[in-house]
Amino acid sequence: MNDLKEFWGIMSVLDSADDVALFVVSGREQKILYCNHLVTVLTGAHTGSDLERVWDKDDFKKAVERCNEGGTYRYAVEQSLFGTRRNVTVCKVVWSQGILAYSFLISAHADDAEEQERERIFTVLGQAYRHIFTFDTMSGEVTTLLRPHEHSENGHLRGVYYHPVSFDEWRNSVTAMIGQEEEKERLRALLDPQAIMENLRRGDYAFQFRQYNGSGNDWCEIRFQRFDELDGKIICTEKSLDEELNLNEEERKNQIILNSLSNIYRSIYLIDLKKGSYTTVKADSLLFGIPDEGSYGTLSDIVLELIPDDAQKKSFSEVFSVKALSEAFGEGAENVVREYNNTLNDDTGWTSITAFKPPYSIGFENKCVLTFLDITEKKRVEAERNEKNMVVDVLSSRYIAVFFVKLNDGSFHSIMVPPKFRYIEKQFDHIAEAMKHYAKAYVLEQYRYIFKSGLRSVVEERQIENGGKREFIYQSVEDTWVRLHVFPIEGESGPEEVILAFEDFTDMMEQRRLNDIYNTTLLADYDMVMEYDPLDDKMFRLRYDGERIVREKPLGVAGINSPDFKQNAVIHPDDLSLFLMACKKATVDESFEEGKTVSHMFLRRKNKDNDDYSLFMYAFHYFEELGRRKVLITLRDAEREVL
């Protein structure tokens, strides 16, 4: 598009319009490149002004994203600087010299079908709500019809913009209003699309939730109801319940909470622990003829008849009796939960029974809530997982990282992984690429073949012999040892998934290394055994604690060639030079090449505070470990040996 100044005739028409606003905004700097006279009169903006003078930045960003997707984007705003209920048309334009910009054309909203439907909804529902939303089940989008007007900001009125959004985006915006994470999770579950449609089959779907403000809780109700079956329209309303409640009606608040639980549990009862009676909050549809209220003993007898196992019957009678519940809550228990078999359906299922105190205590001091939840499907899934050796709790307690990999496409997910490795799951879609990067960053070079060939043969080429598990041991760049287990998960036609479980193997490898060099018989056969590394000039003491070989910290801070060591040595000064000679690197190299062991008799101080010496037999054994030549020194009291 050429410079708009060339189209002076069009500019003249636009500047004389008193009901149409037009402004063009640069995509990069978000500065106004052009605006007609009406925009200047209403906002004081002109060419070069910031976007905030005429429009909200967040709404501009949303509109531009939609425009980039389809070329032109039209929507309605409820309130703006250019009047209420306006149509907005956003188009992409290219300014002179190739500058990318976006034009906003704002005009009066016509009485179209959308407006008529909006008025129809308001007529049916009235104006007693804080928010009203419409769900289009055909497109999966949610449109806001009503929400509180936002206040002015920095002297400028913030508009109210009603963009259709996806269901997930809408749900995230609703849950963002809640303060506590616990309540957010509950609200997300209640707003699950499948749960909404399932409950709407039985009529309206409603629940209550707590919205946290700076001073306390606001109780709100969200209600879904079908509006137009043919067009697939669903209406969602939100209203404040606090406005309907007397501040002293705490029992009413408890009732609201109990009603909100109705969407979760199969049946709910309020138990009076003092009177031994109950009232029904939500009846079980399969328990016909049960009175809404009565003796808790009667209710307990009905439950017992539905539990086929005698041991479980006894458990229910003991755990959920009035006396047992009173004692449990009296001792500070938050809830009492047990799982039992039941015969409510044709097949034996599972029921979770939970008792807990009402959230508000006023008027409910001696009462508790008893809930019944069908967990048959949950138990079935758990049993299936156990059959596949996928017991996540066991894996989590033993391994430092666990990945589940689908062999058909290489996709994977983890159940636990160290924080510094979590980016792997975020950045890579295929396990081969993820492990290739992991090996390059964290595995010693000489062990990377495990991931290049060994792991690839399992994950990519599916070379799993007889369905058995495999394991690889490697060393990391952090000088730790790791054992990688590969567990295949069998399907109908062979392995369908594998589990990659990483285990910290450092201590095990250390014990294996020490056992290869030393053994417990050797350690027990001498008064003392020491290990000396001439390259580091460090001396260690080895001992056996009855279960494992322990390699203690270096003896002393300074090396044996330091003045401090010579000054505080327990070996007699006349013998010390020979001891040092036996530990020198040249002696170590020579003795190692010739395969010989050096033995000497040295006088060793019995007590560091006096000159009382004993004769000890020292033996120097020379060996090699991981390319380093070292000395194993064994000591035996010669006088005790003779005796």
Helix axes 181-190, 167-175, angle to 10 degrees: 150
Last residue within a domain, chosen from 340, 362, 383: 383
Segments of 457-576 assigned E as strands: 470-475, 481-491, 494-504, 528-533, 538-544, 549-551
Instruction: Report the candidate in 373, 115, 106 with the shortest Cα–Cα distance to residue 265.
Output: 373
**Residue 407 binned pLDDT confidence (cut-offs 50, 70, 90):** confident
497 lies in the same domain as 392 = yes
43 lies in the same domain as 156 = no
Instruction: Report the candidate in 238, 234, 237, 236 with the shortest Cα–Cα distance to residue 136.
Output: 234
Instruction: Report the candidate in 534, 628, 632 with the shortest Cα–Cα distance to residue 580.
Output: 534
CA 265 to CA 189: how far, in whole Å?
A: 13
pLDDT, position 320: 95
514 lies in the same domain as 629 = yes
> Does residue 136 belong to any structural domain of this protein?
yes
Residue 152 has pLDDT above 50, yes or no: no
pLDDT, position 23: 92
Q: Where do we find the tokens 């290990």?
A: 531
**pLDDT, mean of residues 4-22:** 69
> Does residue 65 belong to any structural domain of this protein?
yes
**pLDDT, mean of residues 371-377:** 83
Cα distances from 399 to residues 416, 418, 437, in angstroms, run 9, 11, 21
Looking at the DSSP assignment, which residues form a beta bridge with residue 544?
A: 549
Segments of 129-179 assigned E as strands: 131-136, 141-146, 152-153, 156-157, 160-161, 165-166
Question: Tell me: the pLDDT tens digits for 212-229?
Answer: 766 666 778 888 888 766
CATH for 580: 3.30.450.20
3 lies in the same domain as 121 = no
> Does residue 251 belong to any structural domain of this protein?
no
pLDDT, position 558: 64
State which residues form the domain around 1. 1-110
> Does residue 260 belong to any structural domain of this protein?
no
Number of Cβ within 10 Å of residue 496's Cβ equals: 15
**Residue 273 binned pLDDT confidence (cut-offs 50, 70, 90):** very high
228 touches 200 (CB < 8 A): no
499 lies in the same domain as 520 = no
Instruction: Report the candidate in 236, 226, 238, 283 with the shortest Cα–Cα distance to residue 258.
Output: 283
Residue 500 has pLDDT above 70, yes or no: yes
Neighbouring residues of 426: CB distance < 8 A, sequence distance ≥ 6:
none
Cα distances from 77 to residues 55, 128, 135, 170, 634, in angstroms, run 11, 21, 18, 17, 89
For a pLDDT cut of 90, what percent of the chain falls above it?
Answer: 7
Alpha helices in 356-477 (DSSP H): 376-387, 392-398, 422-427, 431-442, 449, 455-459
**Residue 570 binned pLDDT confidence (cut-offs 50, 70, 90):** confident
115 lies in the same domain as 234 = yes
514 lies in the same domain as 577 = yes
> Does residue 254 belong to any structural domain of this protein?
no
CA 554 to CA 539: how far, in whole Å?
A: 5
495 touches 407 (CB < 8 A): yes
pLDDT, position 156: 41
**Higher per-residue pLDDT: 543 or 482:** 482
Last residue within a domain, chosen from 110, 142, 171: 110
**Residue 327 binned pLDDT confidence (cut-offs 50, 70, 90):** very high
Residue 248 has pLDDT above 50, yes or no: no
CA 208 to CA 294: how far, in whole Å?
A: 27
**Higher per-residue pLDDT: 82 or 252:** 82
How many domains are contained in the chain? 5
CA 592 to CA 331: how far, in whole Å?
A: 71
623 lies in the same domain as 515 = yes
Question: Tell me: the pLDDT tens digits for 162-209?
Answer: 678 888 888 888 888 776 777 788 888 888 888 888 888 777 788 888
CA 129 to CA 147: how far, in whole Å?
A: 9
**Residue 316 binned pLDDT confidence (cut-offs 50, 70, 90):** very high
Q: Is the pTM higher than 0.75?
A: no
> Does residue 252 belong to any structural domain of this protein?
no
pLDDT, position 619: 86
Last residue within a domain, chosen from 468, 486, 504: 504
278 lies in the same domain as 213 = no
Alpha helices in 100-155 (DSSP H): 113-125
Residue 517 has pLDDT above 50, yes or no: yes
56 touches 159 (CB < 8 A): yes
459 lies in the same domain as 530 = no
> Does residue 259 belong to any structural domain of this protein?
no
| DSSP letter, residue 151 | P
Among 229-243, 287-301, 621-635, the minimum mean pLDDT is found in: 229-243
**Residue 155 binned pLDDT confidence (cut-offs 50, 70, 90):** very low
